[in-house]
Each structure stands twice: as C-alpha cells, then as structure tokens.
A and B are shown apart, each in its own frame.
Chain A
Amino acid sequence: MLERFSTGASTYAGSIDHLIFLVAALVGFWLIVAEVSLFWLMYRYRHREGHSSQYVTGEEKHLTRWVTIPHFMVIFCDIVIIVPAILVWVNVKQTMPPAEQTVRIFSQQWAWSFQQPGADGILDTADDIRTVGELHVKVNTTYHFELMSRDVLHSFSVPMFRLKQDAVPGRTITGWFQATRPGNYDIQCTQMCGIGHGLMAARIIVETPEQHSAWIRRASNPALAAGVSLPADTDGSKLAEVRP
C-alpha cells in the first residue's frame, strides 16, 4: 500500500513525497510527545489512597513555560513545514516550465476525453488526435494541459504523478506535468460529479519516444485508428471497450 510513496512517476512526485515525509516526521514527533505525556500522567497521577491532588493554578511564570516553550517550538515547526510546502506548491502549481507539448483535457459526465497535436506537433490543426478514456504522453517531456469541463465540476487526478486539479465549467485551467517512467497509470475523477462519478476512470499511458511516435502514426491513420481512439462525442459507456 505505502509502496506508492516510492513509485512516483512525475518530476515533482518526489518533492511532494519528501514534503509528506517531513510533515510526517514533525507531527509524528509531537503526536508521540503528547500521547506519551498524556498516558504517563494518567498512570503517574492515578488515584491512590492517601495521596491528594496538588493545587496548581498554571498561571505563575515557572508553570506557564510548560505551555510557552511548546508554543514557540510549534511555531518553529510550522515554519519548517510552511516554507517547503509553499516551495513545492510554487513549483507544481504556480510556475510553469516552458511547454514541449500541450494537451487539452475535457471532462464531462462521465468521461475524460483528450485532444493533442498529431504529427505536425501543433494543436488545433486538422491532424489533431482525439481520444476518449486514454491519454498517451511521451516520457521526460514537459506537457502543459488545458483542463476544461463541459458540465459540472470534475477533478483531474493522476495519483502516480501526484497531480490533481479541479476542472471548472466556463474556465480553462492550465497546469503541467512531466512523466519520468513509462507505464500505464490511473486517471481518477476526484470531485463528486453525479451518479457516474465512480465510473469516471481513464488511463494515462506514458510511452518512450519511439512508442509515442508509433502511436501518433497509428492514431493519425484513420484506417488504424479505430481500435485506438474514438470521436470526441462518444459517450462514456463505450469506455470499457477502449481500455487496455
């Protein structure tokens, strides 16, 4: 289960995982300190005959330090988490490295469809490749995506990339990713989008440059394309047939 954290498949998966480990170490420390103190005090000061409680207001200086020292330590830990959290965020979401390829992602109740350039490498030309339910990308290539929704909110999530972005109707949301390992990964919808939400699955297929150009050739040739891609207006129920 947790092997997931050693198997990221995008350039930023590692930095997100490291951030998660950092948070886990710090909050793990505080959780253990707090739970151990709680249980030790419960044991140490359990009611025994002949022992009575002490009268401690907790408002004198030498007592308040038991709260003020942790107070400053928690602020320090917060800063240690906030700084890398923002750095990771800025890297993943706020700044965009130059695009080598651009894909368009359409979400709708309840299917994912994709539009990407054909052999000419330019989007919005006659040879664009449109697919439903599977997105073919080239490894080690920076992709920009333009995420759109045709009806309600959806969320484009590729857990292995640590990528997640809501799609909002009426807007085009841009983002980026660069896959690092060839393979075949889940695309989930992670925003409640109606009764087909649980069926809104797709696959992202990360290919080597050779595989990818072979795929582009196949997909661009209408005679070979039938088994690979479907027209954009295909409804989601056909999804099962094209999935590998």
Chain B
Amino acid sequence: MTTPATGAQAHLGSHGDEHAHHRQSFFHKYLWSTDHKMIAMQYLFTGAAMALIGGYLAYVFRMQLAFPGQNVPGYGLVTPGKYNSLVTMHGTIMIFWVAMPVLVAAFGNFLIPLMIGCDDMVFPRINRLSYQVFLLSAMVLLASFFVHNGAFGGAWTSYPPLSARGAYNLTPLGASLWLLAVALEFVAFLLGGINFVVTTMNGRAPGMRMWDIPLVVWMIVLASVLFMASVGPLIAGAVMLFFDQRLGTAFYDPGRGGDPLLWQHLFWFFGHPEVYVVLLPALGIVAEIITVFARKKLFGYRTVLYTTWATGILSFVVWAHHQFIAGIDPRMANVFTITTLLISVPITEMIFVYIATLYGGSIRFTTPMLWALSFIAEFLIGGVTGIFLGASGADIYFHDTYFVVAHFHYTFFPSAIIGMFAALAFWYPKMFGRMMNETLGKIHFWGTVVAFNVTFIPLFITGAAGDQRRIYSYALFPEQDKPGLQHLRELSTIGVIVLLAFQVFFLINFFWSLRHGKVAPENPWLSNTLEWTVPSPAPHGNFAEMPTVYRGPYEYSAPGRETDYWPQNQPISPLEEAAL
C-alpha cells in the first residue's frame, strides 16, 4: 500500500486516491465506511457541529439572563417556555452529543486501533452501525426544535411527573422526541463501547501486555465499561417514561401507584458514572500529552490505573448525592456523603501523579501541552468545589444554585472542550497529515481559557449568593434581583460571547491547516506510541507491517540512549542491551 486511500486525503483536497488498490465511491467512503478513522471523523465533525449548536443556545439564554426581556440578536425574544427549552437542550446536547461522541467515540475510534497496533476495530460493521444510529439520534433531537410547541423544556434530567405529561411540560412532542433521541444515542454508544473493549482486549499487537497499553486507550475502555454497566437501568427507566408519556401507563405517576423518585434513582445511577465516562478519556489524553512534552515517563503508570479503577467502582455508589433533598430517606444521605467524599481520594492521587510527572522534566509549551496543563489547572477547581456539594449539610444550601452550574462546568469544560482541543492539537497531524498553526493555536488557547474563567467564576459567586438554577428572570426574587448580582450575570454573559468568538480562530486554523499547514512527518512530536510509526495521515489499514511491542508507552529520556524517546515497537539492539 504505497498511496493511502483515506478520507483525510480528500479533506486535504488532493484527491490522490486514484492509485489506491481499491477505489471507493463517495457514498462508500464517507457515509458507509467501516474504516475506524473515517468513523472517527464522522463522530468528530458531528460532535463539533453539535457543539456549535449547543454554544449558540448558551449564548441565547445567557443574553436573556444578562438583559432580561430584551431581544437577543440572532434569536429574538426569549419567552419562559423557550428559555426552558434552551437550557434543556444545551445540557442534553453538550453531554450526550458533544462530550461523548468527541471524547469517547471520535478519539476512541481513531486512537484505539492505531495505538494498540491493529488494522481496524474488531467489529467494523457494528462500528458503522454505531455512527449511523448516533446520526439518527442527533437528527431526532434536532427535529424536536421544529415540532409543535418546540423542544423539550423539562431540564436535561427530565424528572417526572413534569416530563411524563404534556399537560405539565407543555412540550409533549418535544419530550417524547428527546427521550427517543437519548435512547438511540445510548444504543449507538453501547455498540461503540463493545467494539472498544473487545478490540483492546483481543486486537493488541504481539508483545503489548496490559501494562503496555497507552493510558488513553485504557481510559476510553474503562469509560466504555462504566457506560455499559450503568446505562441499563436508565434505558429501562426511559422505556417506562416513554410509556407514561405515550401509552398512559403510571410508572412515575403517584396518583396511580407510581413513584417519581424511581426515575431519579435510575437516572443518576447512570448519570454519575457518566461524569467519569467523559472525564476518563480526557485524563488519558492529558497523560499522553504531558509525557511527550515534558519528555518524562509518567510518574506511576500503575497508580493511575489503580486510581481509575477505584474511581470507576466508587462512581457506582454515589448517585444519590444528586438527591439529598429530593425527598429520599434522610439517613441515606449519610451513606452517600461518605462514598462521595471518598472519591476525592483516588482523584486527588491521580491529579498529583500528573503534577509530579512534570518534576524533572523538560517542558515544551506547545499548543497541545498548554491545553493539557490548563486541563489540570481548571479541573482542580471543578474537583474541589464538588466537595461543597458532596457534603450533605452544605449541599442543603448549594443544591440547584448556580454554584452547582459553575462546579460542573469546571469539570465538563476541561474534560470535553479542553480535552477535545488538546487531543485535536496533538493528533491533528496524524489525522490530516498537516501541522496546525502554532500562533493561531495559542491565540485560540488563551482566548478560550481566559473567557471560560470569566464566564464561570462569577457563577460561583452568584450561586453562593443564592441564585437558583433554570430561572428565566430574577425580577420576582428581591434577594436575587440586585445590581451587584446582575453585574456578575452580565460579566458571565460577556465571557460566553468572548469564548464563542475565539472559536473562530480555531475554525480558521483547522480549515487553513488542512490545505496550507506544514506537511506533517511520521512522528512530529517524537512520541513513543504506535500511531506515530505510521505515515501521516494514517493510511487505510494502518500498518504496512504489523508492529511488535517491546516496552511501555512512556519511556522518555531513558538513560543510556541517544534519543530521548524510545518507540514502543523498536527492538533493543545488542549494543543497547549491553549498555543497560
């Protein structure tokens, strides 16, 4: 295979696949492909498009909060019903149609076969089906904007009885389409998750032991396991909710023997592990990047894995911390406070391992490294503010205030958005065969990170001052309707606008570099892992010759070697063996 026949080439505009040994029609190449890299691109571009939609929704409702009752440029007047739809769809889209497809599906698909030395996923057709179901789910969700009464407005948690009856939520069709879209999305990720786990367990290159698997692969696999283990109850719950909506059953209707709290348990039993489904891939991405640009071996590879497993297992027994004041037996809160705070132990350890990895390094502040370091700095804020909410006594005050909003944006934004940009900046050469522009990348980085903090630090303060969530206007609440708080809300809105504006630099950089970026060599960052041993962009079938693995992924600056990196597939020469 001399000339690669990948979709990436066509993105570059070279259309140079005439010589490939099998020609594909446009349809087969872009829409019906079973190539894991093409499916990764499909997930990436769909997720990115959804991110733009989700960002636009955030802009609209932040404008309403900063300037209540005024026309929002580019949208119009925000009514209370529209406001509820906007916040509901923003949350739903950002978690299920941005964070998961980009972090888990796009990078999982792209990286797993390349990093473990496999030519494709083990079940390529299931993989194709996964994306197609995902695309369908996105279409169903977007269609709900245009039905009678508009998109669902009952919050992304969709608590019944509000979500169960059209008479309560006033968006009956939107509510059912929302549920259908979420259920389809889960099907897509179950199909994808099976592939990730089976491929990693069975498709590794000879010589790659469990401890030689790059962390990002481990993290995506563990995220898939968490997802698959937690989603079952929610799918059952979603079916019951759909029946309540459409067939008049009463699973959640207390008047007829149902229980609204049942949904909350099923939802959060999934919903909390879901946080880690998004977080873990980002942690993996950061591990790959900081080791490469600090030229350092990861400080305690096994520690990271053990703490990840511990976090994953603990994440199944903390769900009711979302329900402290929901009317559950108050004694349950004591158990869930203990389990919730204990999760801080493995997570702190993991973050300390990452920070300690920098010790003794030689740090290059490239764009991907800046993203990775900012992930650590920002995620720390998200992590520590969670303690306020996990401590039941303090949560009585903070529950459902903007403090919660700020807290989870400090976990999700670093994971989903910073993690995505870190990964794109790092693997762009392997995906598209060109280097991204560093200057544009750094402008985009600083603009995004500063604007992100300007957006969400004010919300910690307004939340601590009592601003409750999902409120269209504070005019009726004299304690919240104060100029000081209003200024902070305006500041946050300015942050969002700047944040969105700086994404233009990214879009320019992304599309400009596709054609005009410096042509990427095989291994531009001098990295160890297997994906850097194939040409850029990675060709169809990945490896011309299947690699053999001799060592772990983080052997940087090993003593007694001329180069400060040591690719996983490089055999030890007799000379080096003697030197060791």
Contact = CB atoms under 8 A, between A and B. Distances in A.
B479 A159 contact: yes
Nearest to B168: A152
Nearest to A69: B352
Contact of B260 (A42, A53, A169): A169
A160 B213 CA distance: 53
Contact of A35 (B297, B337, B377): B377
A151 B466 contact: no
B295 interface: yes
Given A38-B358, A38-B376, A195 B81 contact: yes
B168 A151 contact: yes
Contact of A85 (B348, B380, B393, B470): B393
A229 interface: no
A131 B536 CA distance: 72
Interface in B227-269: 254-255, 259-261
Nearest to B264: A153
Contact of B333 (A66, A93, A162): A93
Nearest to A54: B360
Contacts of B294: 45, 53
A20 interface: yes
A81 B340 CA distance: 12
Nearest to A244: B478
Contact of B396 (A46, A163, A171): A163
Given A166-B325, A168-B254, A45 B330 contact: no
Contacts of A126: none
B394 interface: yes
A186 B481 CA distance: 11
Interface stretch (A26-34, A113-121, A210-218, A219-227): A26-34
B168 A19 contact: no
Given A1-B485, A23-B391, A194 B162 contact: yes
B355 A34 contact: yes
Contacts of B348: 30, 70-71, 74
Say which size band chain A's interface belongs to: 35 or more
B330 A56 contact: no
Interface string B288-308: 000000111111111100000
A159 B79 CA distance: 26
B462 A1 contact: yes
B331 interface: yes
Contact of A74 (B344, B484, B559): B344
Interface string A184-216: 011011111111111101000000000000000
Interface in A71-112: 71, 74-75, 78, 81-82, 84-90, 92-94, 109
17 contacts: A1-B488, A20-B388, A23-B387, A30-B384, A34-B355, A52-B362, A78-B341, A78-B345, A81-B387, A94-B333, A152-B162, A157-B400, A164-B399, A170-B254, A190-B468, A192-B84, A197-B470
Closest 6 CB pairs of A and B: A170-B254, A88-B393, A58-B299, A54-B360, A198-B472, A85-B391
Given A153-B162, A190-B401, 12 more contacts: A1-B488, A38-B355, A38-B376, A47-B362, A53-B361, A70-B349, A85-B391, A89-B393, A90-B334, A152-B168, A186-B478, A192-B155
